[in-house]
Structure 1
Amino acid sequence: MDPRRLALIRGGTTDTNHSVGSGYLIAPGVVLTARHVLVNRATGEPWPEIRVSVGHPCGSDAPLFRAELLWHHPEGLDIALVRVERAADVEGSVRWGRPVGGAPLRYEGLGFPRATAGSTRDPEHLRGVLPPLSGSGQYYILDQGPAPALGVDGEKAWGGASGTAVFCDGHLVGVVVRDDRPFENRRLRAIPARAFAEHSGFAAHLAGSPGGPPDLIDIGATPPKAGPVDERPLAERELASLLRPLFADPVTRWTHARELAGELGYETARYEPTVSDLAVLLAAHPRALATLSGSLAASTADERARISLTDLLIRTSILDGVSLLSTHEYERLLDLLRGVCKEHPTLLPRAAREALRYAVLPESLTHPTVSDQDLDGLVEELEALSDSENVPEGTPPVPALLRLVEYVAAASAHEVAVRLRSWSEETAQRLGIHPVALRERRVDASGWARRRTSATSRVVMELRRDDSTSEELYLCRILLVGKDGSRTMLHDARTMPKPPTEAARCLRDAVAATAAEPGQEDHVPWVTIVVGRSELHLAVDDWQPDVADDIMPGQPLGAEYRVTLSCPTMTDYRPQRAQDQRRRWQRGPAQALITDPDCRNSSQLLHLLQNGHRDTAQVVLNGPAQERERWLHICLAMGVPVVLWDRAAASYEDSERLHELRPAGPPDELPERVRALRSHSFAYPGERTARPSLIWEQDGRHPTPESLHLRDPRKGTHAS
C-alpha cells in the first residue's frame, strides 16, 4: 500500500458536491473505486462533475482535478475506473493478490470515512482481520479494528470509505463497497479483486501501465512467530517448556508443525518454527494442541515420548483457550450427536442428568430436549468439565464429555453405539487415558441403560417472585418426580428471572418431554407448583405459554394439566405440620370440611380443625375474600393436605360456584375435576365465573424446596 496513490473522490454538480468516496491510483491517471461513489442514485447516471485528488494530504489538501468515468463492470459489480486529468505519476506498480487458505489475514487500507470529516476529509488507516472462510464468497468480510460510532444524525459513519483499496501482505485484494451496521460498525465488506481484475475490459485499461494487466498472486496467512523473550506471556513460555522434550529434533518438529499449520489454513512451504514459534501457534488456536497431539500420538512408538505427551496434555488442560478435542474429533462427534438428537431429542439431557449428576450442567442440558442447533456450544462447554472419579495414578482424568458419550452410547441403537464408543476409545487413547478408567465408565453406563426408567408421575415447578424488580418476573426450578419416588432435577435453582409466559413455556416443554421418555406411554403427569407463603395467591393455572404455531390455539396451563399448588415452607412456621399432614392422609381422606356462614372468623376455623375435623384431609374455603388468605394459612399450618377455594368469590353467597366440582367427593378425583372446569371455563368464557385454586400436598412427600438464586454469570449453571 502506497500512501501516494490514495485518492479522494467527490461527485456532484458544478455547484454542489453530493458524494464523497475513496480510491486508489492503479495506473497513470487511472483510479480504482466503487461505482456507487460516481453515480446519482436517483437516476443511476454518473455525476456530471467528478473531481479527484491523488496523494496523502499529510496535513494539507491535495489539489482536485477533473475526472471522468472510464469503465464500470458490465455485470453490475460495484466497481469502476475513473480517468483523472493531470494526475501525478507514481513510480512502481501495483501488486495484486488473492487470499487463500482458511486462516485469517491481516488487512489494511486508506480511505476517507465520514467520521473523520471536519473542515476537510482526513484519511483513516483501516486495519483489521480478513477471515477468508466468512461470508458467501461474493464479498470479503473485513473485521475492522478501530471503528467509528454511528453519527448522532443517523448518517453512516463509514460513508466515504467506499472505494478504499484493501491490501494483504502488500497486495491489493479487494475494494470496500459497504459496511454492516448489525456488527456495530466493526465489519466492512469488500469486492474481491479476483471478481474483476481479470475481466478483459478492466485489464485493457491497464495494458500499457508499468505493471501491465493484473497478475493475481495467492496470498496465504503465515503462521505467527514468537516475539522477544522478555515480551512473551508466561503461559506461552510454560507451554514452550513442555513442548521441548517432544520436539527437540528440528525435523520432527517441522514435520508436525507444517501438517498442523496447513490444517489451520496457513502457508507452510517454508515454515520451520522454533519451539517458541510452535507454542505461539498452539496458543493462537484452541484446537491446535489437541490436533497436534493426535498426529504425534499416531507416530510415536517410544514409551517415554508417550509419557511426555500425556504429561503435556494433563498440564495444559487447565489453561484458558485450550480445547479438549482436535478439529477432527470435534467435527466427528458433532456429526454423531446430530443423529442422536434427531432420533432421540430427550436422550442427551437424560443421560447427562445421570452421567454428570454432580456437575453443573451447561444451560442447554437443563432443557427437556436438545436440538442439533444447540450442539456446537454444548460440546464446547462440556469440554471444560472433568470427571471427578478416581483414575489409575499417573493418567489423566476421564473428561466429563467422554463419560457422557458412553452413557449416550449405552442407550442408543447398536450401530450408533459402536460408532460412539469407537470415537470415545480413539479420543481416550490420544489423551493418554487408562483403558481401565474408560471401561469403568462404560460399565456404569450400561448398568444405567439396563435399569427400567420410572414413569414421571409429577412435574414440579418451584416459583419465587423476583423482588429486585417491579416487573412480574419469577425465579423457577423444575424437577421430575417418578412413580417410584425418584426425583430428577431438570432445571437448577440458579436461574434468570422469567415472565409468566416464559415460565409457562418451560413447564410445557418439560411436560412434553416427559411424554416422550421410555416407560411414560400415554400418562400425562401431574403439575405441582411449589410456592412460598407470599405466592399462594398466584393464579399459575391461568398462565399461558406463547403460542408455538398458528394451528393450535393457546390455552392456559390449568386447562391442559392437573395444576395444583404446594407450600412446604409452611412447616417452618409449625414443625409438627408434617406429622399432622400424614395423620390426616391416613385417617381422613374421605372427610371434608366445607366452611359455611357459621364459621365467621379465624378462631372458629381453628376450633373446627382441632376438634371435630382433627383428621379431615380436605377443606373447601368459602367465605369473605378478606379472610381467605388468613384462613388458608391456618389450614396449611394445621396440616390440611387438600384445600380448595374460588379466587373469584367475594363472600359465602358465591359458594355455589364450586358445587359442580363436587368438592366433598373423593379427593383423588378432585384435581382432574378442577382441570375439566378450568378447560370448560377457558373454552366458554362467561358461562362459569369460578376460578378454583387447589392446594394438594402429596401424602406428605412434597419435594423440599431449595433456595432460588440469580445466576452468577461467572459460573456454569443448571439455569432453567
Structure 2
Amino acid sequence: METRRLALIRGGTARQRRTNGSGYLIAPRLVLTARHVLADKDTGSHWPEIHVWVGHPGKGGVVRTRADVLWTHPQGLDVALLGLHDQMDVPGSVRWGRPVGKAPLRYEGLGFPLANADEGRGVEHLRGELAPLSSDSRGLYVLDQKSAPDPRDDGRKPWGGASGAAVFCEDYVVGVVVQDCQSYGNRRLLACPAGAFAQDSGFDALLRQYADGPPRLVEIDTPLPKAPPAAERTQTEKDIERSLWQILGVSGACSAHARALADQLGMRVPDDYAPSLPDLVALAAAHPRGLASLSGTLAETITNEDGRVQLTSLLSYARAVGFGSLLSLEEHEGLMDLLHGICKEHPALLPRAAREALRYTCLPEPLSRTHLPVDDLEKAIDELEAMTDSEHVPDGTPPVPALLRLTEYVAAAVVGESASALRQWSARVAARTGIHPTALNERRADARQWAARQTSPVARVVLELTVDHDAPDERYVCRVLLARHNGTHTVLREPETVSKTPEEAARYLRETVECVDDEPGQDHHAPWVTVLVDRQGLHLAVDEWNPGAPNEFVPEQPLGAEFRLTLSCPEMSDFARGRDRAQQRRWASGDQVSLVADQDCASPRRLARLLQDSHRDAARVILHGPRDQRTQLLQVCLALGVPVVLWDREADCYEDAARLQQLNPTGPLADLPERVRRFRGEVFESEEASLPRPALVWEEGQRPKPQSLQLRDPRKGTHAS
C-alpha cells in the first residue's frame, strides 16, 4: 500500500460538489473506486464533473486532475474505474490477492471518511481483521475495523467518504470498500472482493492498456506463526511452553498437535511443516481459542493421571493470566448452534436463567435486559467466557465456569433433545477442562430445583424512579423489579447506570412487560405496574409518559392507558414508625370502609383525627381539594398507613370533586386500578380539558422477599452488584 497512490474523489455538477469518496491509483491513469461515489443517487447517472486529488495530503505532493468513468461492472457490482486526464508518475505496480482459508487476516487501507473532515478531508488509516468465512448476503467481505467513529448528531454517516478505498492484505489489493455497517458498534465495513471483478473482460482490457497487464490473483492466507527468539518471549509464553513440554514428553508429538491445531484454525499446513515447541505456543497464541482447541487434542492422547492433572493446571493458569478463551473453536460453534434456536424461540429464557444461575455476578450487557436478541447471542457467550470462576469444588479441582452454570440452567428449562444436547456439551467441556463430575452435578441439581419452581407468574412489574439531579433536563435513574405471585422477586440489573428521559423510561418499562408475557406460566396474567417514588415524586404523571407506538400498526398510548399503573412511596416508612403495621391492619380489616376527604376534613389535623378514630380501618381515601393542600394531606394518609389513595392531579378546588365520580371511586376496591386504567385511555383519546387526571397510590400489604438457592459456589461477593 503506497500513500502516493491514494485518491480523493469528488463528484457533482459545475455549480455544486455532491459526493466525496476514496480511491486508489492502480495504473498511471486508472483509479479504482466504488461506483456509487460517481453517481447521482436520484437519477443513477454519473456526475458530469469528477475531480481527483492523487497523493496523501499529509505527505505532500498532491496532484489534482479531472477524470471520466471508463468502466463499471456489467452485473452491477459497486466498483468502477476512472480514467484520469493527466498521467501520474508513480513507480511500481499493484499486486492483486484473494483471501483463502478460515483464519482471519489483517487488512489495511486509506480513505477519507466524513468523521475526519474538519476544514478539509483528513486521511484515516483503515486497519483490522478480514474474516474469510464472514460475508453479507451479497458475498461482500466483512471488515472488522480496529478503531471506529461514533455516530454523528446530524444523522450523516461518519464513514461516508471511505467508500472506494482499496483493501490490502499483505500488500495485495483484495477488495474495495463499498458500504459501512452501523451494527457491531459501527466498527464494520463491507468490501467488494477483487476476485468478483478482476476477471471481467472490460476490467482486464483496461489493465492491459494502461497497466502492466491483466490482474493475477494470488491466494493469501494467514501465515503459520513462528516463535520469536527466547529473549523476546514473555514469561507467560515460557510458562506455557514448560507446561506443554511436561505433557507432550516427546518432541515428535509437537508436530502432530501443531498440524491438528493449525487445521482447526483454518491455516494451510505445508508438507514440510516442522514446528518447535515454542512455535506451537505461538500458534496457540495466534487465536483466542487456540489453547482451548489444542487442549482438546491433548486430552485425547493423555493416558495417565499425572498428565491429566498437568493439563488441568495448564488450563487454569492460562485462564488466570488471560491466555485464550474458555471454549475451543468446536465447542463455541456447537454452543452457538444449540442456543440459536432456543434464543430465537424464547428470547427471555437466557436472561431469566442468567439472573438465577449467576445471582452474585454482574451480568454481561446483553443478558442484563429482559430478552436476548439472536444477534447478541455470540457477544453474551464471549463475555461470559471471560468471567471469573467461583470457588474450587471439590478437592482443589477447577470451579464450574459461569458459562457452564448458565448452560445447565437453560438445559433444565427446555425439554427433549435440546436439553440432552446442552448437557452433553457441558459434560464434554467439563471433562476437557478437568472439572470434577460432582461439581457439575451440583449445578445440575440447582438448575433442576430452579426449573421445578419457575411456574409462578409475575404479579407486578415494579419501576423504581430516582431523579437525576446532575442532568440538564428531566431524567431518571431506573431500576426494574419483577415481583411474582409466590412472593419472590428479581431485580433487572443494567451493566451501566444511565439516566433516562421519561420517554426512554416508558419504553424500557414496556419492553420489560412484553418480555414478561413470554415467561412460562404467565398465560393470561396481565402484570400490574407499580412505580416507586419518593415523597417529591408523588406528583409525577408517570401514567402519562408515552413510549410511542409499539409498531407501525398499533397507535401509541401512554403507560397508564396500557397498564394498570399505580404509585408507591416506600420512603414514608422511614419517617413514620409503625406505618407498615398500620397498612397490614387496614388491609386485614377489609375494604368496606372508605374516607372521602372533602371540605369537612381539609386540615391535616382533622384528617389525621378521622384516620385514627372513626376511619381507623379505612383502606381507601379519595382525596379532594386544591393543589397546595393536597401534598400535605396525601402525606398524612400515607404516614398513617392508608394503602390506597386516589386524587385528581388537575383539581384546583373542592368543587372539582365531581369530576372523579365518573370513576366510581368508592366502588369495589379490587377493580379500582382497572377502572382507572380504562378511564386514562378515555382521557387520552378525548380533547375535553375538564376531564380529571387520576393519580392512584396503591401500597401492598406485604413486600416480596427474595428467595435464593443454597449453592456451595459461587463465592458470594464476587462481582457483587
Q: TM-score scaled to structure 1, two decimals?
A: 0.80
Query: Could you tell me how far apart the structure 1 residues matched to 2:123 and 2:602 are?
Result: 85
Within the alignment, does 1:674 sit opposite 2:676 as a pair?
Answer: yes
SS in 2 for 1:317: helix
Counterpart in the other structure of 1:15: none
Report if the CA contact (8 A) 1:593-1:620 is conserved.
Answer: yes
Within the alignment, does 1:316 sit opposite 2:341 as a pair?
Answer: no
Within the alignment, does 1:636 sit opposite 2:634 as a pair?
Answer: no
Q: 1:482 to 1:107 in 2, by over 3 A?
A: closer
What's the CA shift for 1:336?
Answer: 1.4
Return the letter of the residue paired with 1:226.
A
CA offsets 1:185-212 (integer angstroms, 9 cap, x no match): 9988776553455456666788899987
Query: Could you tell me how far apart the structure 2 residues matched to 1:48 and 1:579 are?
Result: 81
Counterpart in the other structure of 1:516: 518
What's the CA shift for 1:492?
Answer: 5.9
Q: 1:191 to 1:581 in 2, by over 3 A?
A: closer
Query: Could you tell me how far apart the structure 2 residues matched to 1:233 and 1:513 are?
Result: 48
What's the CA shift for 1:663?
Answer: 2.9
What's the CA shift for 1:108?
Answer: 6.6
Q: Equivalent residues in 2 for 1:297-316 (5 A)?
A: 297-316=299-318
Report if the CA contact (8 A) 2:24-2:33 is conserved.
Answer: no
Report if the CA contact (8 A) 2:460-2:527 is conserved.
Answer: yes
Query: Could you tell me how far apart the structure 1 residues matched to 2:69 and 2:527 are?
Result: 74
CA offsets 1:271-323 (integer angstroms, 9 cap, x no match): 44333333333334222222221222223333322221111111122233632
What's the CA shift for 1:64?
Answer: 12
Query: Could you tell me how far apart the structure 2 residues matched to 1:617 and 1:564 are?
Result: 15
SS in 1 for 2:471: coil
Which of 421, 424, 427 is the matching residue for 1:422? 424
SS in 2 for 1:594: strand
Counterpart in the other structure of 2:363: 361
Q: 1:7 to 1:288 in 2, by over 3 A?
A: closer
CA offsets 1:513-533 (integer angstroms, 9 cap, x no match): 333333333222322211111
Which of 584, 592, 595 is the matching residue for 1:593? 595
Query: Could you tell me how far apart the structure 2 residues matched to 1:146 and 1:516 are?
Result: 38
Report if the CA contact (8 A) 1:100-1:220 is conserved.
Answer: yes
Query: Could you tell me how far apart the structure 1 residues matched to 2:295 and 2:512 are?
Result: 41
Counterpart in the other structure of 1:280: 282
Report if the CA contact (8 A) 1:21-1:112 is conserved.
Answer: no
Report if the CA contact (8 A) 1:529-1:566 is conserved.
Answer: yes
Counterpart in the other structure of 1:460: 462
Q: 1:31 to 1:266 in 2, by over 3 A?
A: farther
Counterpart in the other structure of 1:103: 103
Report if the CA contact (8 A) 2:141-2:192 is conserved.
Answer: yes
Q: Equivalent residues in 2 for 1:33-182 (5 A)?
A: 33-34=31-32, 78=79, 96-106=96-106, 130-133=130-133, 135-136=135-136, 168-169=169-170, 172-174=172-174
SS in 2 for 1:298: helix
What's the CA shift for 1:629?
Answer: 0.7
Within the alignment, does 1:245 sit opposite 2:243 as a pair?
Answer: no
Report if the CA contact (8 A) 1:65-1:86 is conserved.
Answer: no
Query: Could you tell me how far apart the structure 1 residues matched to 2:90 and 2:206 are?
Result: 16
Greater Cα shift, 426-435 or 579-588: 579-588
Q: 1:407 to 1:626 in 2, by over 3 A?
A: same
What's the CA shift for 1:655?
Answer: 1.0
Report if the CA contact (8 A) 1:112-1:123 is conserved.
Answer: yes
Counterpart in the other structure of 1:393: 395
Counterpart in the other structure of 1:602: 604
Greater Cα shift, 392-401 or 243-252: 243-252
Q: 1:59 to 1:631 in 2, by over 3 A?
A: closer
CA offsets 1:589-615 (integer angstroms, 9 cap, x no match): 422222222223222223333333333
SS in 2 for 1:246: helix
Within the alignment, does 1:194 sit opposite 2:195 as a pair?
Answer: yes
What's the CA shift for 1:588?
Answer: 6.3
Report if the CA contact (8 A) 2:475-2:499 is conserved.
Answer: yes
Return the letter of the residue paired with 2:410.
V
Identity of aligned residues (%): 48
SS in 2 for 1:467: coil
Report if the CA contact (8 A) 1:616-1:640 is conserved.
Answer: yes
Return the letter of the residue paired with 2:651.
A
Q: 1:463 to 1:717 in 2, by over 3 A?
A: farther
Report if the CA contact (8 A) 2:66-2:85 is conserved.
Answer: yes
Query: Could you tell me how far apart the structure 2 residues matched to 1:224 and 1:211 are?
Result: 33
Return the letter of the residue paired with 1:584.
R
Give the number of equivalent residue pairs. 687
Return the letter of the residue paired with 1:282.
A
Query: Could you tell me how far apart the structure 1 residues matched to 2:680 and 2:371 are?
Result: 29
What's the CA shift for 1:144?
Answer: 7.7
Query: Could you tell me how far apart the structure 1 residues matched to 2:359 and 2:308 are?
Result: 33
Query: Could you tell me how far apart the structure 2 residues matched to 1:653 and 1:603 are?
Result: 22
Report if the CA contact (8 A) 1:52-1:66 is conserved.
Answer: no
Q: 1:49 to 1:62 in 2, by over 3 A?
A: closer
Counterpart in the other structure of 2:405: 403
Return the letter of the residue paired with 2:421.
R
SS in 1 for 2:363: coil
Counterpart in the other structure of 1:258: 259
Which of 527, 530, 533 is the matching residue for 2:532? 530
Return the letter of the residue paired with 2:225.
P
Report if the CA contact (8 A) 1:475-1:497 is conserved.
Answer: yes
Query: Could you tell me how far apart the structure 2 residues matched to 1:233 and 1:672 are?
Result: 67
Counterpart in the other structure of 1:709: none
Report if the CA contact (8 A) 1:222-1:268 is conserved.
Answer: no
SS in 1 for 2:572: helix
Counterpart in the other structure of 1:568: 570
Gaps of 5+ in 2: 12-16, 707-717
RMSD: 4.9
Return the letter of the residue paired with 2:699.
E
Query: Could you tell me how far apart the structure 1 residues matched to 2:683 and 2:445 are?
Result: 53
Which of 400, 404, 415 is the matching residue for 1:413? 415
What's the CA shift for 1:356?
Answer: 2.2
Counterpart in the other structure of 1:225: 226
SS in 1 for 2:601: coil
Counterpart in the other structure of 2:712: none
Return the letter of the residue paired with 1:100.
V
Query: Could you tell me how far apart the structure 2 residues matched to 1:676 and 1:51 are?
Result: 66
Query: Could you tell me how far apart the structure 2 residues matched to 1:584 and 1:65 are?
Result: 87
Report if the CA contact (8 A) 2:262-2:268 is conserved.
Answer: yes
Query: Could you tell me how far apart the structure 1 residues matched to 2:658 and 2:130 are?
Result: 74
Which of 361, 379, 382 is the matching residue for 2:381? 379
CA offsets 1:16-62 (integer angstroms, 9 cap, x no match): xx99975345xxxx76542789x997986999999999xx9999979
Q: 1:271 to 1:673 in 2, by over 3 A?
A: same
CA offsets 1:647-666 (integer angstroms, 9 cap, x no match): 11111111111223333344
Gaps of 5+ in 1: 13-17, 705-714
Return the letter of the residue paired with 1:670.
L
Within the alignment, does 1:476 sit opposite 2:478 as a pair?
Answer: yes
Query: Could you tell me how far apart the structure 2 residues matched to 1:158 and 1:248 are?
Result: 56
Structure whose alpha-carbon radius of gyration is higher: 1
Query: Could you tell me how far apart the structure 2 residues matched to 1:451 and 1:80 are?
Result: 66
SS in 2 for 1:406: helix
What's the CA shift for 1:167?
Answer: 5.7
SS in 1 for 2:540: coil
What's the CA shift for 1:358?
Answer: 2.5
Return the letter of the residue paired with 2:336.
L
What's the CA shift for 1:550?
Answer: 2.3
Report if the CA contact (8 A) 1:113-1:159 is conserved.
Answer: yes
Report if the CA contact (8 A) 1:622-1:652 is conserved.
Answer: yes
Query: Could you tell me how far apart the structure 1 residues matched to 2:425 and 2:485 are?
Result: 36
What's the CA shift for 1:87?
Answer: 9.8
CA offsets 1:535-565 (integer angstroms, 9 cap, x no match): 1111222222221112222222222322221
Q: 1:552 to 1:31 in 2, by over 3 A?
A: closer
Report if the CA contact (8 A) 1:361-1:717 is conserved.
Answer: no
Report if the CA contact (8 A) 1:149-1:157 is conserved.
Answer: no
What's the CA shift for 1:456?
Answer: 2.5
Query: Could you tell me how far apart the structure 2 residues matched to 1:298 and 1:647 are?
Result: 72
